[in-house]
Amino acid sequence: MNEILKTLVYDRQVSLTILNTTQLVNDAIKIHNVKGGAAKTLADMLTAATYMSGCLKSDVGAVSLTVKADKEVGTVSVSGDKNLHIRGYIDGNLNGKLKGGYMTVVRDDGFFRPFVGTCELVCDDVSENLMQYFHLSEQIPTAVAISSQFDEDGNCVVAGGVVMQLLPGTSQANMDKAENAMQNFVNVCPVLMELGANGIMQKFFGEETEQKFVYSYFPEYKCNCSRKKISKVLISVGKSELLDIVKEQGKVSVHCHYCNTDYDFDDKDIEELFNE
Ligand SMILES: [Zn+2]
């Protein structure tokens, strides 16, 4: 099951998020047929996108995280929106190698211009990189313990994690409490597997929070593409250009990286696009 639990702890000075993204990670690795290091990188990036999507405030909010490593290594791109529809893909041989690459975060809060932040990746671990991103780019002290684990057949047995963010004015005592609590999640997979998101909330934060102030949300792996949306993009390309492509290649084919779907248009389809 996919789940996000959110609440405030330690005198309501620290925001706490517990994520279980196991199912959406399995959906993603099945669609993209990825294994090994690439599957783990995609999994942890999807959990990161799920966390950031859960922080969006505007109804039209959306966020994307893209990592570009060396030319020969490739790209991983994940995104999500306020509806908690999460998607992503990984290409090239990005086999768990992130160090030296760059991560760009684009967050659209529905304002005039989206927020764009970039940071250099210091290591291969998604949690470390995300902490550094929040520290440098958004100046929010954030502790991240995101991870995933796979069985011999390549299925994800558990994915998710725990994230804590200090609100402005957090006291030293509460900072220490948060830091101490995070020690429980240095190796978060077995804890999440044993207790689940709710169990973690109860065992480690039960005394800090009232159940009625714990909010749950249910993210899922879902692409926003559709033939209609692709059609709109094609119309902007222009009719004669599209017909030229059909002449050369037999069809206009648009591939959605996020869900691995091909949208094909022949000359008849293109005529129809411009007649509507
Ligand atoms: Zn798609």
**Ligand 1 centroid, distance to 27 Cα (angstroms):** 13
- Name the band, by pLDDT with cuts 50, 70 and 90, for residue 71: low
Within this chain, do residues 118 and 244 fall inside the same structural domain, yes or no? no
In sign, the C-alpha dihedral spanning 69, 71, 76, 77 is positive
How far is the centre of ligand 1, averaged over its atoms, from the C-alpha of 33 (Å)?
Answer: 15
Q: Do 7 and 127 have their domain in common? A: yes
Residues in the chain: 276
98 — pLDDT class (breaks 50, 70, 90): confident
Q: What is the pLDDT of residue 69?
A: 74
Q: 231 and 157: one domain?
A: no
CATH assignment of the domain containing 159: 3.55.30.10
CA of 81 to the centre of ligand 1 (A): 14
Asked if residue 259 and residue 172 are part of one domain, the reply reads no
Binned at pLDDT 50, 70 and 90, residue 61 comes out as: very high
Model-level pTM? Answer: 0.91
Same domain, 26 and 79: yes
> Ligand 1: distance of its center to the CA of 88 in Å?
9
Exposed, middle or buried, 248 (CB in 10 Å: 0-12/13-18/19+)?
Answer: exposed
CA 203–ligand 1 middle distance (angstroms):
39
How many domains is the chain partitioned into structurally? Answer: 2
3-state SS class at 224: coil
Tell me the residue range of the domain where 231 lies.
227-275
Give the tokens for residue 109: 């809060």
Q: What are the pLDDT digits (tens) for 42-58? A: 999 999 999 999 999 88
- Using CA atoms, how far apart are residues 91 and 75, in angstroms rounded to an integer? 6
pLDDT digits (tens, 9 = 90+) for 164-207: 999 999 999 999 999 999 999 999 999 999 999 999 999 999 98
Taking 70 as the threshold, does the pLDDT of residue 72 lie above it? no
Instruction: Write out pLDDT tens, residues 115-155.
Output: 999 999 888 899 999 999 999 998 999 999 999 999 999 99
For ligand 1, the distance from its centroid to the CA atom of residue 89, given in whole angstroms, is: 10
| 176 CA from centroid of ligand 1 (Å) | 43
Q: Are residues 45 and 147 in the same domain?
A: yes
pLDDT band at residue 73 using 50, 70 and 90 as cut-offs: low
Find out whether 230 and 263 touch, Cβ atoms under 8 Å. Answer: yes
Give 191 Cα–ligand 1 centroid separation in angstroms.
33
Q: Given this model, what pLDDT does residue 95 score?
A: 72
Q: What distance in angstroms lies between residue 256's CA and the mean position of ligand 1's atoms?
A: 5
CA of 26 to the centre of ligand 1 (A): 17
Question: Does residue 181 sit in the same domain as residue 78?
Answer: yes
Considering only CA atoms, which of 132, 134, 119, 124 is closest in space to residue 44?
A: 124
CATH number, position 264: 3.90.1280.10
Q: What is the mean pLDDT of residues 16-34?
A: 96
For 250-257, which contacts have Cβ atoms below 8 Å and span 24 or more sequence positions?
A: 254/230, 256/223, 256/225, 256/230, 257/77, 257/89, 257/91
CA of 235 to the centre of ligand 1 (A): 18
Band (111; pLDDT cuts 50, 70, 90) = confident
Task: Specify whether 48 is located in the same domain as 150.
Answer: yes
Residue 52 CA, ligand 1 centroid: distance in Å: 20
Distance CA 235, CA 109 (A): 28
Q: How far is the CA of 230 from the centre of ligand 1 (A)?
A: 10
User: Nearest CA to 158 among 123, 115, 187?
Assistant: 187
Q: Are residues 33 and 98 in the same domain?
A: yes
Do 237 and 137 share a structural domain? no
Distance (Å) from CA 189 to ligand 1 centroid: 29
Q: For residues 88 and 259, give the distance between their C-alpha atoms in angstroms, rounded to a whole number.
A: 8
Cβ atoms 227, 263 nearer than 8 A: yes
Check whether residue 34 and residue 165 sit in a common domain. Answer: yes
